[in-house]
Amino acid sequence: MTGGATLVDAMKIQVMKVPEEGLSLDTSYDPQQLNVDRQDAHLTSPVRLATRVTREGEDLFVQGSLRCVLTMICGRCLESFDATVDKELLLHYDVTGKYVVDITDDVRQELVLEYPMIALCRSDCLGLCPRCGVNRNHTTCSCNA
Ligand SMILES: [Zn+2]
Ligand SMILES: [Zn+2]
């Protein structure tokens, strides 16, 4: 990789360069560029975008998909696990008087919306024993708590 700048520029769409038939925009973001880490959720791989950019008059549309892997910490058992995010994307911009549209903020926003309120390694995670602290997914203790 030749540094972050190339990737950032890939997300700036030059309005005048979008042809009538549209264009494909396939690119990826570094985790650091998006800076969307939460205490219990970290981006550990690039965010991939596969989109189609079209323009109708003063309306610009970016449609496609966003994929990445989040490494999260389970809110019950505190073990880390990976979750794949695969999300459909449809962004719309009014480009009246604009030459360049930067979609970075919206991509960040879309991604953060995918974060679960509480990360769980699985919906039936048994969590830690409140008394002795063992991970009850792996160990059965005799606390009866
Ligand atoms: Zn868990
Ligand atoms: Zn216990």
Predicted TM-score (pTM) of the model is 0.81
d(CA 134, ligand 2 centre) in Å = 6
What residue segments make up the domains of the chain, in order of their start?
A: 4-113
d(CA 144, ligand 1 centre) in Å = 19
Is 71 within 8 Å of 42 (Cβ atoms)?
Answer: yes
Q: Which ligand is nearest to the CA of 80?
A: 1
d(CA 78, ligand 2 centre) in Å = 15
Q: Look at the block and give the residue holding tokens 């930067």.
A: 102
Buried-state track 26-45, b at ≥16 Cβ within 10 A, e below 16: ebbbbbebbebeeebbebee
What is the pLDDT at residue 99?
92
d(CA 129, ligand 2 centre) in Å = 5
Q: How much is the mean pLDDT over the chain?
A: 89
Give every CB contact of residue 98 below 8 A, 6+ residues apart in sequence. 15
Distance CA 64, CA 51 (A): 4
The band of 54, judged by pLDDT with boundaries at 50, 70 and 90, is very high
Query: Which of 2-16, 71-85, 130-144 is least confident?
Result: 2-16
d(CA 110, ligand 2 centre) in Å = 40
Is 30 within 8 Å of 4 (Cβ atoms)?
Answer: yes
d(CA 112, ligand 2 centre) in Å = 35
Q: Look at the block and give the residue holding tokens 């960040």.
A: 108
Kindly state the greatest CA–CA separation across the chain.
69
The band of 10, judged by pLDDT with boundaries at 50, 70 and 90, is low
Element holding 7 (H helix, E strand): helix 4-10
Distance CA 52, CA 22 (A): 7
Give every CB contact of residue 143 below 8 A, 6+ residues apart in sequence. 129, 131, 132
The band of 66, judged by pLDDT with boundaries at 50, 70 and 90, is very high
Element holding 127 (H helix, E strand): none
Distance CA 78, CA 74 (A): 5
